[in-house]
């Protein structure tokens, strides 16, 4: 399961960041997960919860910010965002020439530590 390895590296990252700030407790982790990132947020939280006991993040709560897929059309220049995970054509003009500008991210947005 892909989410387990993501959760492992997330745990490693947050523990390192907290330690770098001389913190001992991680309270909250806010993640930005794009709909096209391929990561299922529920599965990631579940995997993280299974890994966190005995670490600084033992009591940490993960909050997920869902990032929709958005892009910019190279034909008509419109900026768009969609509900789906994938974009096949510009919703305004139907052109297949566009760039995806968000929706693929998997980022640590904020970390609350004590």
Non-local CB neighbours of 114 within 8 Å, separated by 6+ positions: 23, 24, 25, 27
Which of these ranges, 18-26, 43-51, 59-67, 90-98, lies near Zn ion under the rule CB under 5 A?
90-98
> Does position 70 bind Zn ion by CB under 5 A?
no
Output phi, psi for 55, to 5 deg.
-115, 175
5, 9, 13, 95: which one contacts Zn ion (CB under 5 A)?
Answer: 95
17, 30, 51, 75: which one contacts Zn ion (CB under 5 A)?
Answer: 75
92, 105, 106, 112: which one contacts Zn ion (CB under 5 A)?
Answer: 92
- The minimum distance between CB 95 and Zn ion, in angstroms, equals 5
> Does position 90 bind Zn ion by CB under 5 A?
yes
> Does position 73 bind Zn ion by CB under 5 A?
yes
Buried b / exposed e over 66-92, threshold 16 CB at 10 Å, is ebebbbebeeeeeebebeeeebeebee
Spatial distance between the Cα atoms of 29 and 64, rounded to a whole number of angstroms: 8
Task: Point out which residues bind Zn ion (CB under 5 A).
Answer: 73, 75-76, 90, 92-93, 95
């Amino acid at each position: 399961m892909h989410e387990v390895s993501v959760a492992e590296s997330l745990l490693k990252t947050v523990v390192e960041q907290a330690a770098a700030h001389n913190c001992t407790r991680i309270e909250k982790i806010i993640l930005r997960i794009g709909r096209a990132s391929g990561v299922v947020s529920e599965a990631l939280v579940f995997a993280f919860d299974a890994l966190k006991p005995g670490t600084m993040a033992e009591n940490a709560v993960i909050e997920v910010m869902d990032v929709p897929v958005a892009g910019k059309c190279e034909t008509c220049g419109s900026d768009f965002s969609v509900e789906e995970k994938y974009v096949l054509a510009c919703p305004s003009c139907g052109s297949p020439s566009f760039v995806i500008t968000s929706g693929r991210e998997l980022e640590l947005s904020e970390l609350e530590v004590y």
